[in-house]
A and B are shown apart, each in its own frame.
Chain A
Amino acid sequence: MKKILICDDDEAILEALQIVIEQEGFVAEVLSEGKEVAKWSLENKPDLILLDMLLSGVNGQDVVKQLKKNVELKNIPVIMFSAHPSAARMAKDSGADAFVAKPFDIKELIRVINDNLKERE
């Protein structure tokens, strides 16, 4: 089963996404602290990361840059999401593989996840 890491500082979204993604047949792990993403990923090697753009304590863009700099992590697809108006461009600029605007349609999100996982195979 593919392992997906979800990082968002909103507990409700985190919980809901975890359930939905597990319902879709993935292993879903959650983190509310952006600064732990890289460390956790090195230890647990997720197949895909879902990352919110605005995290408390750390900027989501900086997290993506950190991941993409690391040889062991740079091939893990990162999908960013945000409700911020100009987030799509910011996500692309920081090196994210895909972007989904909040509030998202779950089917659309699952489609993007599957597309990105397929690309890596």
Chain B
Amino acid sequence: MLQKKSTNNQDEIAIKNRLAAIVEFSDDAIIGKDMDGIITDWNLGAKKIYGYAPEEIVGKPIATLAPTYKASEMAQIMDKVRAGIAIDHHQTKRIRKDGRVIDVSVTVSPIRDSKGKIVGASEITRDITEQMQITRNLEFLAEASRILASSLDYQETLNLIVKLACPFIADWCVIEMVSEEGKREILAIAHKDPALAEWAKNSRENLLRKTGDKPALSKALMAGQTEFYPEITLEMIKGAAGDEEHLEILKNLKLTSAIAVPLRAQGKTIGVFTFISSESKRVFNRNDLYMAEQLGDRASMAIENAKLFHAVRQEQKRLNNLLANVPGVVWEAWGDPGQAKQNIDFVSKHVEQMLGYQTEEWLETPNFWLKIVHPEDYQRAAKEAEEIFKSGKIGVSRFRWMKKTGGFVWVEAHSFVVKDKTGKPIGMRGVTMDISERVEIERRKDEFISMASHELKTPITSIKVFIEVLKNISEKQGYSEVNSYLLKMDRQVEKLSNLVSDLLDVSKIQAGKLELKREEFPLEDVVSETVEVLQAMTKRHNIKTFGRIGSNIQADRDRISQVLVNLLTNAIKYSPEAKRININLYKEDGRAIVSVQDFGVGIAKEHQGKIFERFFRVYDDADKTFPGLGMGLYISSQIVKQHGGEMWFKSDKDAGATFYVGLPLAQTQ
């Protein structure tokens, strides 16, 4: 029993020794204190964390270990101890013997005697400074990224960066950019005292002005390497100073430590970010170096973004200026114009001058361009826009735009279709020009043609009547020779008269005043009548008609006859060496088709696009033109168009030409 007890005692002693060793060599500070807060026990960990040896601190109040601003917290902890309450992992600040404030996690537990009475407390302190620093660093870098991403203005970005780093990393933070020649130029500087920062900037600039030279960056920085000076020596200051005065200034700043991080873009050093400690007497360590480099990387990116943004904005400004001076409206719109879903996303400033609506109105209102089209042009303009969009090609459309202040402007819109990757039309871009002046000139010209042709008809009329008078007289007198000349004269006057009529037709078409007297009749009738007349005019050609339609068309008989006369006259005119002209009649897709085929000079490829234009004529090899004003095909195609029909042709140079007229069949059949 005794043995056993003695064994127990020995065990207890062994356990106690072991526990004492654990306490003594723990990395945490384990401190004992009495009810008055006087330190009674102090392990090795405590010495390591706080810097005091046991003999220096045992017997002193626990409050010695806290910064003065934490005194009340210390008192509260003691109150809790007395009340028997434990404190677990409380994060707070403590102060070391050397005065450095550290982050700690504290656990305080009351100590009771064998009767359960509280006699003191144990305090376990863990140094979490490094852990807290990492957290703060991460938070700082996250915040830095956020702030840097928030601005795209170059100078603002630089200012933000230096302010961010000061005083978190250093007392002085400076950004200098490198010029084309590798010289450095100060662009942003920060210090906790803004007045001092301003002074430093000015004195630096003064120095540069005085020496007239901007120092270059070191080779290391240019190569992208960071320069790290944990300790700034007097020699280094002397080396950096421009003159005696400057040296004095630098000395007074009491610079202690410095880091210079290169700012890089696209593999090149574009600047340097310098961190200097002075009044804080902080000596930069590896952690500071890491932070400086991290911030440098983020700053490089932000500067690069700001530069790119600046360049893009400059380019945009340049383009806008360019576009604003185009004497037309440059625009871009997305969506299908046919479904009133077209949104304008760009319209050049010139539009304000042209119509008086602000560009915002164009951008905010869907289909705004169509909403301000003249009511008389509305349907047509909408249809034409939709046709261009669906065709996926380039198109031209003319219409009137209403001005905001009243009145209208004639415009011509040249549009082309924007397609997605699959080739589907998604939008349109173009230029719309004010053509009021041109329209006015054209109107005056057409008015002139109309008036001139009218004026020409009056003398032609009297000439024709006089020829008739002469014919009657010569017939009575039996002057057969005179009679034959009069017939020739009559034919020439008839030609002159037809030319004048053509001119008048052109002016009518241009003015949109070509009126049709529609009636139902078989196209065959007009064809045979016309062939009869034209066959009488040509001895060389044999005009043959093939096929039949068998249904009526509803059309203006005289106008359709005019078209056929024109086609047959052309066929005769442009095939002087040929013997045949073929006419084919047939039905196709609910239309009556008549084709006139000649075997003459044909139409060269380069002319084929212009054949239905006003005043266009075909030239032969010798560039010799055939007589005529080039109005016939234009008038004919317009007449056919007015009937809801279509005119087209097939031809090759020297292989003749075939002209086709397609007319809708009468509805009543």
Query: Interface on A for B, CB 8 Å cutoff?
Result: 10, 12-13, 15-17, 19-20, 23, 83-86, 102-106
A20 to B466, CA, bound (A): 8
Is the CB of B450 closer than 8 A to any CB of chain A?
Answer: yes
Q: What are 16 of the A-B contact pairs (CB < 8 Å)?
A: A10-B462, A13-B465, A15-B462, A16-B466, A16-B469, A17-B465, A23-B469, A83-B458, A83-B461, A85-B450, A85-B508, A102-B460, A104-B461, A105-B464, A106-B465, A106-B468
Is the CB of B510 closer than 8 A to any CB of chain A?
Answer: no
Which residues of A sit under 8 angstroms from B465, Cβ to Cβ? 13, 16-17, 20, 106
* Least Cβ–Cβ distance between A36 and chain B, in angstroms: 21
Is the CB of B457 closer than 8 A to any CB of chain A?
Answer: yes
A102 pairs with B458, CB closer than 8 A: yes
B 108-139 contacts with A by CB, 8 A = none
A104 to B464, CA, bound (A): 8
Which residues of B sit under 8 angstroms from A105, Cβ to Cβ? 464
B472 pairs with A103, CB closer than 8 A: no
A85 pairs with B513, CB closer than 8 A: yes
A13 pairs with B469, CB closer than 8 A: no
A20 to B504, CA, bound (A): 28
Which residues of B sit under 8 angstroms from A106, Cβ to Cβ? 464-465, 468
The answer to whether A85 and B504 touch (CB under 8 A), given A13-B458, A103-B457, is yes
Which residues of B sit under 8 angstroms from A104, Cβ to Cβ? 461, 464
Is the CB of B582 closer than 8 A to any CB of chain A?
Answer: no
Is the CB of B183 closer than 8 A to any CB of chain A?
Answer: no
Of the candidates A13, A23, A86, which one forms a contact with B462 in the assembled complex, judged by CB atoms under 8 Å apart?
A: A13
B 420-469 contacts with A by CB, 8 A = 450, 453-454, 457-462, 464-466, 468-469
Q: Among B450, B457, B458, B466, which residue has the most Cβ atoms of chain A within 10 A?
A: B458
Closest to B472 in A: A23
Which residues of B sit under 8 angstroms from A15, Cβ to Cβ? 462
* Least Cβ–Cβ distance between B497 and chain A, in angstroms: 5
A84 pairs with B454, CB closer than 8 A: yes
Of the candidates A13, A20, A84, A85, which one forms a contact with B472 in the assembled complex, judged by CB atoms under 8 Å apart?
A: A20
Which residues of A sit under 8 angstroms from B464, Cβ to Cβ? 103-106
* Least Cβ–Cβ distance between A92 and chain B, in angstroms: 12
The answer to whether A83 and B457 touch (CB under 8 A), given A10-B462, A106-B464, is yes
B458 pairs with A20, CB closer than 8 A: no
A103 to B450, CA, bound (A): 15
Q: Among A15, A16, A23, which residue has the most Cβ atoms of chain B within 10 A?
A: A16
Which residues of B sit under 8 angstroms from A12, Cβ to Cβ? 459, 462, 466
B469 pairs with A20, CB closer than 8 A: yes
A16 to B461, CA, bound (A): 9
* Least Cβ–Cβ distance between A98 and chain B, in angstroms: 16
Closest to B454 in A: A83
Closest to A13 in B: B462
* Least Cβ–Cβ distance between A55 and chain B, in angstroms: 13
Closest to B504 in A: A85
A86 to B461, CA, bound (A): 18
* Least Cβ–Cβ distance between B502 and chain A, in angstroms: 13
A34 to B310, CA, bound (A): 80
B462 pairs with A16, CB closer than 8 A: yes
A103 pairs with B513, CB closer than 8 A: no
Closest 10 CB pairs of A and B: A83-B457, A16-B465, A12-B462, A103-B461, A106-B468, A103-B460, A13-B462, A102-B461, A23-B472, A19-B469
B458 pairs with A10, CB closer than 8 A: yes
* Least Cβ–Cβ distance between A75 and chain B, in angstroms: 27
Known: A17-B465, A83-B461. 10 other contacts (CB 8 A): A10-B458, A16-B462, A16-B465, A16-B469, A20-B472, A83-B457, A84-B454, A85-B513, A86-B515, A103-B464
A16 to B466, CA, bound (A): 5
B472 pairs with A86, CB closer than 8 A: no
Which residues of B sit under 8 angstroms from A85, Cβ to Cβ? 450, 454, 504, 508, 513
Which residues of A sit under 8 angstroms from B457, Cβ to Cβ? 83, 102-103
Closest to A101 in B: B457
